DNA sequence: TAGGTCTTGCGTCACTCACT
DNA sequence: AGTGAGTGACGCAAGACCTA
């Protein structure tokens, strides 16, 4: 589901559903007794405390007493809050008076901050409180988002291969093949391939579709099952056509010949690495992979954070509408009360 | 218009948490 | 215990905006 859909859906629900729910909440205010007549309406305004909003006690004609808190409240410092963050903010506010405590224990602060729940978790908790707030799905995202996925959580590589051109190929659990060029700084260095074994043009061969930008040179690399992925002339031609039409280029998986083609390098498994140079290369490769995955994770995290903030802003809008309605309701009740006393 | 400031996004590191 | 995901913090770069 795209963000636009989420927001529009929220907007649709915002005005209608939430105030209804909170009206019910107001009706259930405990601790107040009915009047003997049951038809009297009384309004009492009291100040709760310094900085606290005024509390208005409204006795409805039905005999119900309603505590209405002032809807005009002090502005919040930030909409991004969690219980932990609130604790931090309270602490920081309390510390404002004493400059000597301005320098906080960074270790403790880091500890508090690091325990902050994920945005997904917070958002899902919010959504359980307010149905108008959409949940973030645990696993899948829709493919029609148009966002380059990179190596996502659902496509974690299970195998890593190194080509003779210095590129890395990862085979994910879902069967997708991803080509990564470490020398490329941007997202275009990553290509995602989707294997389709059914309908292969010849036995033992499979078409591999490349979702990324096609490289200039030919691609040769191995995949599990002793199969060799070759970008042959035909598929190269297909690639050129695809490049012209915007379609995806094609690769083929073939069973390799008894002798390895020139220029094809098979990455050795970590268990067979002996020389320090090989170990260093392996370490470098692992680091590159880790950095790449962390890069993607950071992107995803920022995306979720933005979505989370958007949802909070939407919720603020909903609550503002709700406050407005409550103000109007309160004014109406006040009018009824004053007209009865006159 | 040049220089300063602000905003935004990115990559990386460090760390925690959950899972196996 | 090891591993991967998630995320805050930090620094950097590029663009937007402001001001003398």
Q: Does residue A303 lie within 7 Å of nucleic acid chain C, judged by its CB?
A: no
A69 φ/ψ angles, rounded to the nearest 5 degrees:
-85, 145
A217 within 8 A of A206, measured Cβ to Cβ = no
| Contact criterion met (CB below 8 Å) for A79 and A316 | yes
Footprint on protein of nucleic strand B, Cβ below 7 A: A 110-111, 114-115, 185-187, 291-292, 294-295, 298-299, 302, 306
Rounded CA–C1' distance between A215 and B17, in angstroms: 39
> Which residue gives the smallest C-alpha to C1' distance to C9?
A110
- Tell me the pLDDT of chain A (342 aa) as tens digits: 333 333 333 333 322 222 222 222 222 222 333 322 233 333 333 333 323 333 333 343 334 443 333 333 333 333 333 333 333 333 333 333 333 333 333 333 333 333 344 555 555 555 554 444 444 433 333 333 333 333 333 333 334 444 434 444 444 433 444 444 444 433 333 444 433 333 333 333 333 333 333 333 333 333 333 333 333 333 332 233 333 333 333 233 332 222 232 222 333 344 455 677 777 777 778 888 888 888 888 888 888 888 888 888 888 888 999 999 999 999 999 999 988 887
Model's pTM, two decimal places? 0.40
């Amino acid at each position: 589901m795209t963000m636009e859909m989420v927001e529009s859906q929220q907007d649709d629900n915002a005005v209608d559903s939430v105030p209804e729910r909170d009206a019910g909440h107001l009706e259930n205010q405990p601790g107040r007794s009915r009047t003997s007549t049951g038809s009297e309406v009384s309004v009492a305004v009291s100040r709760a405390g310094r900085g606290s909003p005024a509390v208005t006690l409204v006795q409805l004609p039905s005999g119900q007493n309603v505590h209405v808190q002032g809807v005009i409240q002090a502005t919040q410092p930030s909409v991004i809050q969690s219980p932990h963050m609130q604790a931090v903010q309270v602490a920081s506010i309390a510390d404002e008076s004493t400059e000597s405590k301005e320098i906080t224990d960074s270790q403790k602060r880091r500890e508090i901050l690091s325990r902050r729940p994920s945005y997904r978790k917070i958002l899902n908790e919010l959504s359980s409180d307010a149905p108008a707030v959409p949940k973030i799905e645990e696993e899948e995202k829709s493919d029609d988002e148009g966002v380059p996925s990179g190596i996502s959580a659902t496509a974690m590589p299970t195998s890593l291969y190194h080509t003779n051109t210095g590129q890395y190929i990862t085979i994910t659990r879902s069967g997708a093949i991803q080509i990564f060029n470490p020398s490329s700084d941007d997202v275009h260095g990553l290509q995602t391939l989707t294997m389709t074994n059914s309908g292969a043009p010849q036995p033992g061969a499979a078409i591999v579709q490349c979702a990324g930008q096609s490289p200039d040179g030919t691609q040769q690399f191995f995949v599990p099952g002793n199969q060799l992925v070759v970008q042959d002339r035909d598929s190269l031609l297909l690639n050129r056509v695809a490049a012209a039409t915007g379609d995806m280029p094609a690769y083929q998986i073939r069973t390799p010949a008894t002798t390895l083609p020139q220029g094809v390098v098979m990455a050795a498994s970590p268990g067979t690495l002996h020389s320090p140079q090989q170990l260093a290369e392996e370490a470098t490769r692992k680091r590159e992979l880790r950095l790449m995955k962390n890069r993607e994770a950071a992107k995803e995290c920022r995306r979720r954070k933005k979505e989370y903030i958007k949802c909070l802003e939407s919720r603020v809008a909903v609550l503002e509408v709700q406050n407005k309605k409550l103000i109007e309701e309160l004014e109406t009740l006040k009018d009824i009360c004053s007209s009865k006393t006159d």
